């Protein structure tokens, strides 16, 4: 997600980010019944992978990839539609036809608060992220690199298809 503006007070930082009118992927999946079809998952997942590839090109490891940190924007929705007091986003999401409108979905990767730039051949060691999506090397305290994000991508894929975390402990 793009940072539009920021400001700081004596006790807080405020970030103004670009609008993602579809909310996060976790809420989207829940509104669609708890999981997505294989076709829907492929469409969204392909875009997440493209975003992660762009992040990796900058030598950055995300370290907290999860459904909550993937944002959606529906370019067909205009701000005046969302401002309509009768507009119901949950109903819109439930009725969304991927076959017809999949090109109107923009997928954005958010919350790079735990992200870190890794130089060539550098490894990280910090225990950081969301435990149920963490790669084993992070959980066990080993050094890790960008490949840890690939593990998290697998967790995302599984969750979109099944509605469940791949590991519960």
Q: Whose CA is closest to 31, among 108, 95, 105?
A: 95
Taking the C-alpha atoms of residue 24 and residue 69, their distance in angstroms, rounded to an integer, is: 7
Dihedrals phi, psi of 149, to nearest 5 degrees: -70, -30
Q: Assign 24 to helix, strand or coil.
A: strand
For the beta sheet containing 23-24, the strands, ordered from the edge strand earlier in sequence to the opposite edge, are: 23-24, 70-74, 105-109
Taking the C-alpha atoms of residue 53 and residue 36, their distance in angstroms, rounded to an integer, is: 23
Annotated active-site residue 24? The verdict is: no
The two tokens of residue 55 are 């992040």
Q: Whose CA is closest to 22, among 85, 83, 70?
A: 70
**Which is the catalytic residue, given 24, 59, 64, 68?**
64
Taking the C-alpha atoms of residue 50 and residue 153, their distance in angstroms, rounded to an integer, is: 11
Report the DSSP pairing between strands 60-61 and 23-24: unpaired
* Catalytic sites, residue numbers: 64
């Amino acid at each position: 997600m793009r940072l539009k503006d920021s400001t700081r007070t004596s006790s807080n930082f405020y970030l103004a980010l670009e609008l993602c009118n579809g909310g996060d992927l976790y809420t989207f999946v829940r509104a669609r019944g708890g999981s997505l079809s294989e076709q829907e998952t492929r469409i969204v997942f392909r875009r997440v992978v493209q975003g992660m590839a762009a992040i990796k090109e900058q030598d950055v490891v995300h370290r907290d990839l999860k459904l909550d940190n993937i944002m959606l924007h529906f370019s067909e929705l205009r701000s005046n539609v969302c401002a309509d007091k009768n507009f119901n986003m949950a109903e819109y999401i439930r009725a969304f036809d991927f076959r017809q409108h999949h090109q109107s979905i923009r997928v954005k990767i958010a919350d790079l608060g735990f992200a870190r730039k890794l130089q060539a051949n550098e490894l990280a060691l910090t225990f950081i992220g969301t435990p149920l999506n963490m790669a084993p090397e992070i959980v066990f305290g080993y050094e890790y690199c960008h490949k840890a994000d690939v593990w998290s991508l697998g967790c995302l894929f599984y969750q979109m298809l099944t509605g469940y975390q791949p590991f519960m402990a």
